[in-house]
Amino acid sequence: MGPLVVNEIISENTNLLLAFFIGIGFGFVLEQAGFSSSRKLAGMFYGYDTVVLKVFFTGAITAMLGLLFFSLFGWVDLNLVYVNETYLTSAILGGVIMGVGFIAGGFCPGTSFCGAAIGKLDAWMFIGGLFIGVFIFAEGFPLWEDLYMANFMGYPRISEFFGLTEGITALFVILAAVAMFWVGEWAEKKFPREEY
């Protein structure tokens, strides 16, 4: 759990126990927020329910501010935080494929497991499709390796990409979240879901 083990504030065993309880709490919050409902998740794209968007942004901001303050206190070195490499072409193509699957199926890979955990059959079907897709991708990788590896951009952070400090970047992300919250509220009023 963050810098607690490396600073010898808690033991490795306590760290694992905390991770277990935090994981249970995280799953509970996701389920309560509606992440196990394909209708609620799809509602984000159709505008009638933006709770998922708000929960995602709130989680991202909380994690971002936690890392930023841990860095300021000297508990975390942000230069040691791993950032996935960026291959622009495959990131865009993968985003389109996942977006279409998300809209069509009502789940993303993570939320499908949330739905499956409470016994939703549509979530189990989505997970089956997920594994089929992973298998096809892995077995056919030599066919699209060049496309996958195209436009390598390194390991960029938003702050470095735009030449901003971490604090200013955090401020802009918070402002973007507030704007998205406002847009979400507007969309829910503009496109209410008809109850049958």
Q: What is the pLDDT of residues 72-113, one digit of tens each?
A: 888 888 888 888 888 999 999 999 988 888 888 888 888 888
Looking at every residue in the chain, the average pLDDT score rounds to 86
Predicted local distance difference test score (pLDDT) of residue 146: 92
Dist CA 196 CA 191 (whole Å) = 15
Instruction: Tell whether 178 is covered by a domain.
Output: no
CB 77 within 8 A of CB 6: no
CB 64 within 8 A of CB 170: yes
pLDDT category at 142 given cuts 50, 70, 90 is very high
Chain mean position to CA 106: 15
Chain mean position to CA 184: 18
Q: Is the pLDDT of residue 167 over 60?
A: yes
Dist CA 134 CA 151 (whole Å) = 22
Instruction: Tell whether 3 is covered by a domain.
Output: no
Q: How many domains does the chain have?
A: 1
Instruction: Tell whether 14 is covered by a domain.
Output: no
Instruction: Tell whether 115 is covered by a domain.
Output: yes
Instruction: Tell whether 89 is covered by a domain.
Output: yes
Neighbour tally for 44: CB within 10 Å: 21
For residue 106, give its domain range: 84-155
Pseudo-torsion of CA 38, 40, 42, 48, nearest 10°? 160
Instruction: Tell whether 144 is covered by a domain.
Output: yes
Instruction: Tell whether 10 is covered by a domain.
Output: no
CB 40 within 8 A of CB 111: no
Residues in the chain: 196
pLDDT category at 46 given cuts 50, 70, 90 is confident
Predicted local distance difference test score (pLDDT) of residue 195: 61
Closest Cα partner for 14 from 23, 5, 6? 5
Instruction: Tell whether 161 is covered by a domain.
Output: no
